[in-house]
Amino acid sequence: MRRVKIYYFLFMILIGIGCQQNRDVTDDLIAPNWQNSNILKYFVTRNDSIIGQLDYTVYSDIEGETPIYILNMLTNTKMYKDNLWDTSVVYFRRDNFAPVRAWRKVITNLGYTIIETHYSGNKADVWLETIDGKKTFNYTIKKPYFDNEMILTLLRSVRFAKAKKYAFNVFMPFSLQVNPITIKYIGKVKIATPAGSFECDRVSLISMQKTYNVYYEQQEPRRLIRYHEKNSNIALVLASNS
């Protein structure tokens, strides 16, 4: 009888583990108290020296009859002898953060790339333009998935209340790849930035065999405070407490 109870106990543990692994990140999303059209400014740093800046804005809007968010990011960096201007806009639903469409333009000393992506269900249609001409591509992506440019915004809304670890797909229009990623809640930590010191939630993001450390303020509106690849000297840090 005792052996039966032990087997039953182990069986219930395995069920619990299985249920936790099957959690969908969209069930654990609560959008922060975003201030509409509030611009956040970030420094791009290398060895704590500023090499660029990112302007980050989230808007609320309506797409047809669907409430959406619009994420707008403008990055200007100088990497060694090369300059890079990167502008991206992502439209995604307010209820489940599913991407609707995205646009991105990247300009370097060598040329430019313009990418427009339209999402519908598990389909992604891509229009790509470079100095060499225009091309179109079509992809099928397993749900849940998100546009690569919206991931740091998505993580502002993941509360890790139902699970401490999630896996989902990310579509990367710029490289025309579907990439599985894993996010995991690590714990609380205090982070110092040019904008001040913040009590943060630390999240680990694993993508393409690389690990990134991401820090969000614990209080609303859960701004991104710092982001960097593990063991890298390049980071994104909040520049002003606005």
SS3 annotation, the chain: CHHHHHHHHHHHHHHHHHHHHCCCHHHHECCCCCCCCCEEEEEEEECCEEEEEEEEEEEEEEECCEEEEEEEEEEEEEECCEEEEEEEEEEEECCCCCEEEEEEEEEECCEEEEEEEEEECCEEEEEEEECCEEEEEEEECCCCEEEHHHHHHHHHHECCCCCCEEEEEEEECCCCEEEEEEEEEEEEEEEEECCEEEEEEEEEEEECCEEEEEEEECCCCCCEEEEEECCCCEEEEECCCC
Confidence at residue 80, expressed as pLDDT on a 0 to 100 scale: 65
Does 120 score more than 90 pLDDT?
yes
| Whether pLDDT at 14 is above 50 | no
Range of the domain at 195: 2-238
Contact (CB, 8 A) for 185 and 203 = yes
Count of domains observed in the chain: 1
Statement: residue 17 has pLDDT above 60: no
The pLDDT of 96-125, averaged and rounded, is 96
**Does the structure show a pLDDT above 80 at 9?**
no
Q: What angle do CA 238, 96, 20 make, to 5 degrees?
A: 90
Mean pLDDT of 135-148: 96
CA 26 to each of CA 45, 143, 159, 167: distance values in angstroms, whole numbers, following the listed order: 32, 10, 10, 11
Q: Find the mean pLDDT for residues 199-220.
A: 96
| Phi, psi of 25, rounded to the nearest 5 degrees | -60, -25
- What is the reported pLDDT for 22? 65
pLDDT at 169 over 50: yes
> Does the pLDDT at position 234 exceed 80?
yes
- The predicted model gives 154-179 an average pLDDT of 96
User: Taking 50 as the threshold, does the pLDDT of residue 13 lie above it?
Assistant: no
Query: In the predicted model, is pLDDT for residue 1 greater than 90?
Result: no
Q: What is the mean pLDDT of residues 116-135?
A: 97
Report pLDDT for 34.
Answer: 86
Largest CA distance in the chain: 75
Query: In the predicted model, is pLDDT for residue 151 greater than 80?
Result: yes
Q: 211 pLDDT exceeds 80?
A: yes
In this model, does residue 175 exceed pLDDT 60? yes
Model-level pTM?
0.87
Mean pLDDT of the 151-174 span: 96
Q: What is the pLDDT of residues 29-88, one digit of tens each?
A: 999 988 777 899 999 999 999 999 999 999 999 999 999 999 999 999 986 677 899 999
Give the pLDDT mean for 192-215.
96
